[in-house]
Structure 1
């Protein structure tokens, strides 16, 4: 049954044909568009393509940034970022949906950039990348200064001129793009490259870095707000002076650097002292040192003169010492003869007490005492020996009284079996059993013939 509300002349489409027709119509009508919206549903795919949605208060649209276009963007999309994109509208037949193919991307006004900058600053600060405790001291007299900036332009010329004017120093320039596509990667790679130079390599390693760029708009300076640049600055083991734009310009690298200079020229002034000022200071210090040494010498001479006046006269000291020597020499001559006389007197006194009669008397008395002691000792020994002999005889008498030999001597015998056990009863004997009889004068072996006798 046919619905009469539709004319029969309307052409019939397949699904694919209708999708193709819609794709052609959309792409012809919206071949190039600019769309403003807030980023949502962001997906950075491993293939390098970026899938996202743009929304406003009431609608949203799917969008794609192909890999080549994504790498060329100076600002990468982030959730919540308000942007203006340029591209073409197309359809996606498998889902019957339309989507925006983005070719360029820009921030929706400076206010959006400032919001993104503030959000990023807070996030990096929360990580501790701006901690003052991480700041390194700037060397007072750097041997080699590394400069990361554009190879052309007034910035590098101003830095080199100012260094030459103040204090000629060796400079290594690592040229980079300071704006546009690839600038953040080049700046971060330059900082890491200087840090990776070996200490004693063919290319010397700087002990101070200057990252510099001339003035510009917020978007012109955006490469120095990139997260990779900020992280490489914070991780640098070489002290870094940031000199981006003019004094009123502030980028995130300024917070991560060890020192911020308002201009590139000021960075050169911070890096090295003025040679003339150093020379003047050295001359002044030398003059002050000479005056101090001269004054000190004069004071020492004056003090020495005062001390010398307090010392006694040399001739007086020598005369007194000469008299002392003469007196001691006289005593030295007399002393030996006096010593000998004193010893002779002592010997005579001792000699009188050492006469032979006294010695013989003492010897005879000692001999008599020895003889008396020997007699007493012999008498005591004999008495002790007699007492011990009597005690021993008494012990032997008691032993004999209890010995079995005394019993045997009175006519008894001791009966043992062949195992040397004493036999006291006949109940254990049998005919033919061998026994040993012990008499007072020896032993005999006998045999039992009859055990029935009473």
Structure 2
């Protein structure tokens, strides 16, 4: 059976699309539209894509790159404007839009006005105050996420947490768009806070409220008062990750921290486990290295301090020099002081005469006689008073009380005598220990112990120790002090010294060591040994 032939014209998709486009452009032409700016997008091409909306409809708009640079105002979300342009279609997506040539401000949009009013109201109650915000835990064990369980947001958060530091994540499923989204988000926040610690379901240490980007209408549920109050009342620290970095909602102000994106919230919530392990290893290595350097430095400082300690004779060098200086000044000071007193005595002697001395003697004798008379009278009165007081006391005295006081005094004297003996013994023991310590210190500082190790102390004819061989002339008388005695020697000079191990011809008589008689061979041997004997000082 043959198909029925229709007389309806057939159009291609492009034909019908461009026909509709031409019809709309011819019907409307240039128009002026008043509405509130919603979603605004600025891609890298330089064009601006936006939405014009009212309470019931949305009109898409586009501002081409050449026109965007000449606009009187830059489009901002929530701004009410009057747009001038033409209505056209976009056949590639079967949608109509307005190509905007000019924008004029017409006042703030209704939604933005409501948002600002709600922001002022809640801010006046202190819900956005910084002092209410709590610090985030450095390493939470459980994280609660309030978001849609089917969106890409939860997958991004779980993936990011697993990469950085795998831990337990609880998801409270909610709608993130629509009329009931605000109530569900508020219930999710309150539900996590209601979990008891240590219960069957672990209580989160941190809450993340997350949603992807969108227009102000899409995100309006996070501006509701119930959500803001639930976020501000949360006992668990809360991160707001609603929208993209340029989007903002009232929950961002009430949360303890705002993240630019949901992935950024996961990065803020948990550290990188590998970085923490590396930090611990680095701190361990630094601690070991620091301890090793500290011990090495202390050992070096101890050795340096030991090497810097002066020799015993150097300790007395400065006091000896000060003593010589003050001794020289003392003689001069005594001479000057004697001269000063002599001058004063001579000046005073010129004012003295026998008459002055006689008159002074007479006055002193007269005054002495007067004082003697007064003393006799006063003594008589005092003796009389003492006698009366003694008589009064004698009546109250008895031998029994005196005997009792004598017994008590004897017992106290005996106790004090015992304490004196014990204190004397203790003091004597401490003094003996101190004397023993000083004796040991004297022995350790004395050069006698150095002589007992094989060294010798060489003095010149004046008894002064020799510190260098350069100042000794041949034939000088020397005194060599050893550990067990003193030897007398004569310096032969360094040119005439012959080491004992090298046999050589006898030296000339004048270069030989002039030891005293041959009966003392030890002195001659000591004279030859001066050249290589180390100087004690």
For normalisation by structure 1, the TM-score amounts to 0.45
- Which of the two has higher C-alpha Rg? 1
